[in-house]
């Protein structure tokens, strides 16, 4: 409903009230209430940075799970395939099916799910599962026998994370693989628990455990095409002994490398930049007298007469609730504080210093405007969470726009 219709519906006394309380009401010019702009060129550039760092002899399988960290898995996958990605990694069967139905033909590795009800779809859509138990190798082998063709899989080793992965002796693992002749072991993999922590020996120990097991399997004649251990952090900080001949960059594809911990941590060798900008429309702008409570629970009271703006995004859109009274957005090239509680659909900012801000304008939640920038890592620190959570928390109702 535009402002002309609203003013026809509002009686004269209500229109006078809006004017008296300095409420601006106008037809929004922003394209959506809240939206992200994803740069295809930056996704491609980030992939190329990974490709260049690991060199030509290491395959690159970008991770596009969780809707490509909310950047949009289908469009991101198309960009990555056009750049020559060796394959794509997802978390579950449904994610893989969506890519297949969208025309993606590259190999797709399903890293987490191997639920019995989903196995027929794995076969139908040519998805390669990661298997986490010896019993599941036998189950996949039976499925391969019933279809009369070899079915590839990757076997995950629990090298010390204590989550998914086989936790058996090399002898038992070799026997289970050898007994399943219709199932084809294409890859051997593991996952690090604390690869950013250089004050801990856990990553080195996990890598040693993995390589020792791989060597013992090789001695029995089991030599899968791929061995892979590394996601973004071991790539960026060049833990080359942990690369194997395939890497699985996720965070880096979207422009982020997490910081390390520890006195002897190296600097990142990976030059990537955020591919996503997040914006929200201004729904209302008004001036409030000093002492006015703002938002749920009156968490904030105006310390002086102040101009506020109400944004068309809240925690249902992915703005962390904990940014209330502590976060910022960028409005007209300036940092504008979030005031009061972040509510489900709305967020209020102090627009006193943004004199030209009006209804229908957009403000930036993540991104850069002139010299001001807010990225997911900055937002995460303020909210007391991690950048992965910030990106994956951007709701599906936030429109995706590709530029």
| Phi-psi map region of 68: left, alpha, beta (phi>0 left; psi -120 to 50 alpha) | left
3-class DSSP state for residue 173?
helix
For residues 158 and 25, the model is more confident at: 158
Superfamily of structural domain 3-15+22-36+275-402: Lyase, Ornithine Decarboxylase; Chain A, domain 1 (2.40.37.10)
Closest of 184, 275, 207, 231 to residue 89, by C-alpha: 231
178 has a pLDDT exceeding 50: yes
pLDDT surpassing 50 at residue 26 = no
Active site residue 296: yes
Name, in order, each residue with C-beta under 8 angstroms of 378's C-beta and a sequence gap of 6 or more. none
- pLDDT one-digit tens code per residue, 293-351: 999 999 999 999 999 999 999 999 999 999 999 999 999 999 999 999 999 999 999 99
What average pLDDT score do residues 118-145 get?
A: 96
3-15+22-36+275-402 and 40-254 in the same fold: no
Distance of CA 50 to the CA centre of its chain: 17
Q: What pLDDT digit, counting tens, does each position of 246-259 carry? A: 999 999 999 999 99
Q: Which of 362, 354, 327 is nearest to 342 (CA)?
A: 327
With contact defined as beta carbons under 8 Å apart, do 363 and 277 qualify? no
* Active-site annotation holder among 47, 65, 198, 279: 65
Domain boundaries, the chain: 3-15+22-36+275-402, 40-254
State the number of CA atoms in the 13 A half-sphere of 385 facing the CB.
18
**Mean pLDDT along residues 269-290:** 97
- Cβ-contact 214, 241 below 8 angstroms: no
**So what's the pLDDT on residue 29?**
66
Quick: pLDDT tens for 193-209: 999 999 999 999 999 99
Name the 3-class secondary structure at 124: helix
Q: Coil, strand, or helix at residue 309?
A: strand
Average pLDDT for the chain: 92
Contact status, residue 350 vs residue 337, Cβ threshold 8 Å: yes
**Residue of 21, 198, 296, 315 with catalytic role:** 296
Specify the 3-state DSSP secondary structure of 188.
Answer: strand
Architecture of domain 40-254: Alpha-Beta Barrel (3.20)
388 is catalytic: no
Res 2 pLDDT > 60: no
pLDDT at 28 over 90: no
pTM: 0.89
């Amino acid at each position: 409903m535009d402002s002309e219709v609203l003013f026809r519906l509002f009686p004269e006394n209500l229109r006078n009230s809006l004017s008296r309380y300095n409420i601006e009401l106008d037809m929004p010019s922003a394209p959506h209430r809240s939206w992200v702009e994803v740069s295809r060129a930056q996704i491609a550039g980030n992939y190329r940075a990974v490709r260049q760092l690991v060199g030509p002899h290491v395959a690159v399988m970008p991770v596009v799970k969780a809707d490509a960290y909310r950047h949009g898995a289908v469009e991101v996958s198309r960009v990555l395939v056009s750049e020559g990605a060796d394959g794509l990694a997802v978390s579950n069967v449904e994610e893989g099916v969506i890519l297949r139905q969208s025309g993606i033909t590259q190999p797709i590795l399903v890293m987490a799910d191997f639920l019995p009800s989903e196995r027929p779809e794995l076969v139908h859509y040519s998805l390669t599962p990661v298997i986490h138990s010896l019993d599941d190798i036998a189950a996949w082998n039976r499925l391969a026998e019933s279809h009369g063709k070899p079915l590839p899989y990757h076997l995950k080793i629990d090298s010390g994370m204590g989550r998914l992965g086989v936790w058996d002796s090399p002898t038992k693992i070799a026997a289970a693989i050898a007994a399943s002749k219709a199932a084809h072991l294409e890859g051997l993999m593991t996952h690090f628990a604390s690869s950013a922590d250089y004050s801990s020996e856990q990553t080195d120990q996990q890598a040693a455990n993995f390589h020792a097991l791989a060597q013992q399997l090789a001695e029995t004649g089991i030599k899968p095409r791929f061995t892979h251990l590394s996601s973004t952090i071991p790539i960026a900080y060049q833990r080359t002994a942990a690369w194997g001949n395939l890497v699985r960059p996720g965070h880096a594809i979207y422009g982020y490398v997490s910081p390390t911990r520890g006195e002897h941590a190296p600097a990142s060798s990976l030059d990537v930049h955020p591919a996503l900008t997040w914006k929200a429309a201004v729904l209302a702008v008004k001036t409030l007298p000093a002492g006015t409570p703002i938002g749920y629970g009156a968490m904030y009271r105006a310390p002086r007469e102040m101009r506020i703006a109400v944004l068309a995004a809240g925690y249902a859109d992915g703005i962390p609730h904990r940014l209330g009274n502590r976060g910022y957005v960028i409005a007209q090239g300036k940092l504008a504080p979030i005031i009061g509680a972040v509510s489900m659909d709305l967020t209020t900012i102090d627009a006193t210093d943004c004199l030209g801000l009006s209804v229908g304008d957009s403000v930036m939640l993540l991104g850069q405007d002139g010299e001001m920038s807010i990225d997911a890592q900055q937002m995460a620190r303020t909210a007391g969470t991690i950048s992965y959570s910030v990106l994956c928390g951007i709701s599906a109702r936030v429109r995706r726009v590709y530029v």
